[in-house]
């Protein structure tokens, strides 16, 4: 084993020089100055190209209050700067300003120049195309969707709960279980849930396959779909060997009507069956359980003993910590 190679780069968020080990994860490689990880740097790299046709640091972006930008739970590493530059709103699912991308009733349509959605659409309930169709509706014609989600190069998407309908999460001595009453009234219980941001935080609904994503984005009425898969070592964006989960950008095609919003999944061909073996480091599939533990979970759920949305409290806490400067 040779020593890891440290590469010097200029962080394109804070503009400072930093070093990164040439062995990373998209959530790793944090800038020593501002803490921006590879995913955040790759996002702002793509945004800079869209706005200025070249990579410049976020600190050197040109202020423009006419540019209407929406973030969905954007990280403060770039959200704070975007807010000072543009007509920018960072929306949240659990706190103000609220936005549920799966239900955009009351929102102004065709009005945003840029919508940034970083690691959100793997958490929206099925059917997964609704979030993309709504993104199209919120953007102006020619507007930019800047997206990240964890995804693989496998042939299909691993949709963890394809029959999700009325559901809740309960806790027993062994951990957390998801109880779901399907449309056909059958009740199912799942163990081995995957959470992002810690147990009980944000539930992973799926791990996309790139091909499925691209089809859904195209059908939602986007053009010029670009996958930002290259290494940009000048900015410490070392990601090529990651083999997926790259930043994707796409432009709203104003001449196209997006796919219809349906209660069912129009892309059911694109998902693995529950029985299919899926072997990939990004994928932990929940398992359906039956028997006493499942029965108890169903009782808990029916008695309303669902876990108090801990994500709400953790998000409020994080928000306050941010406001108070930790
Ligand atoms: Zn930085």
Please list the rounded mean pLDDT of every run of 10 residues in the chain (326 residues). 75 93 80 95 98 97 98 97 98 94 96 98 97 98 98 97 96 96 96 93 96 98 97 90 92 96 96 92 93 97 73 55 53
Residue 40 to residue 217: CA distance in whole angstroms = 21
pLDDT at residue 7, as a whole number: 81
Task: Find the 235 Cα to ligand 1 centroid distance in Å.
Answer: 10
Please give the CATH superfamily to which domain 6-160+204-289 belongs. Vaccinia Virus protein VP39 (3.40.50.150)
CB distance 26 to 229 below 8 Å: no
* Residue at token pair 């990880």: 37
Write down the pTM of the prediction. 0.91
Residue 150 has φ and ψ, to the nearest 5°, of -65, 130
Task: Find the 89 Cα to ligand 1 centroid distance in Å.
Answer: 22
Task: Find the 33 Cα to ligand 1 centroid distance in Å.
Answer: 5
Domain borders along the chain are 6-160+204-289, 161-203+290-326
Q: Which segments within the chain are labelled E, that is strand?
A: 6-10, 17-21, 64-72, 86-91, 112-118, 139-148, 151-152, 158-159, 166-172, 175-181, 187-191, 195-196, 202-203, 206-209, 222-228, 247-252, 287-289
Task: Find the 10 Cα to ligand 1 centroid distance in Å.
Answer: 8
pLDDT at residue 137, as a whole number: 98
Residue 14 to residue 31: CA distance in whole angstroms = 9
pLDDT at residue 264, as a whole number: 94
Task: Find the 52 Cα to ligand 1 centroid distance in Å.
Answer: 20
Task: Find the 183 Cα to ligand 1 centroid distance in Å.
Answer: 48
Task: Find the 57 Cα to ligand 1 centroid distance in Å.
Answer: 9
Residue 297 to residue 180: CA distance in whole angstroms = 10
pLDDT at residue 310, as a whole number: 46
Task: Find the 29 Cα to ligand 1 centroid distance in Å.
Answer: 10
């Amino acid at each position: 084993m040779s020593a890891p190679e440290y590469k010097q780069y200029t962080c394109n968020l804070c503009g400072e020089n930093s070093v990164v080990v040439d062995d990373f994860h998209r959530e790793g490689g944090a800038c020593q100055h501002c803490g921006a990880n590879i995913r955040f740097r790759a996002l702002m790299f793509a945004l800079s190209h869209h706005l200025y046709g070249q990579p410049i640091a976020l600190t050197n972006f040109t202020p423009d209050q006419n540019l209407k930008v929406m973030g969905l739970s954007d990280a403060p590493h770039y959200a704070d700067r975007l807010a000072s530059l543009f007509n920018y709103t960072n929306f949240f699912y659990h706190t103000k300003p609220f936005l549920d991308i799966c239900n955009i009733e009351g929102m102004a349509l065709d009005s945003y120049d840029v919508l940034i959605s970083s690691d959100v659409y793997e958490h929206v309930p099925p059917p997964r195309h609704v979030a993309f169709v709504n993104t199209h509706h919120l953007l102006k014609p020619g507007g930019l969707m800047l997206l990240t989600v964890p995804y693989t190069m496998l042939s299909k998407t691993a949709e963890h709960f394809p029959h999700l309908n009325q559901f809740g999460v309960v806790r027993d001595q062994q951990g957390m279980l998801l109880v779901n009453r399907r449309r056909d009234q059958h009740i199912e219980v799942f163990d081995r849930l995957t959470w992002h941001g810690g147990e009980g935080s944000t539930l992973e609904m799926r791990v996309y396959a790139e091909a499925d994503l691209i089809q859904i984005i195209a059908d939602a009425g986007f053009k010029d779909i670009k996958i930002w898969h290259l290494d940009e070592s000048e900015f410490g964006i070392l990601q090529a060997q990651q083999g997926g989960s790259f930043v994707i950008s796409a432009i709203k095609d104003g001449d196209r009507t997006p796919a219809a919003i349906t209660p069912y999944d129009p892309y059911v061909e694109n998902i693995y069956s529950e029985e299919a073996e899926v072997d990939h480091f990004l994928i932990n599939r929940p398992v359906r359980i039956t028997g006493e533990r499942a029965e108890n979970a169903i009782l808990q759920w029916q008695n309303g003993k669902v876990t108090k949305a801990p994500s709400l409290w953790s998000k409020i806490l994080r928000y306050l910590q941010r406001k108070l400067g930790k």
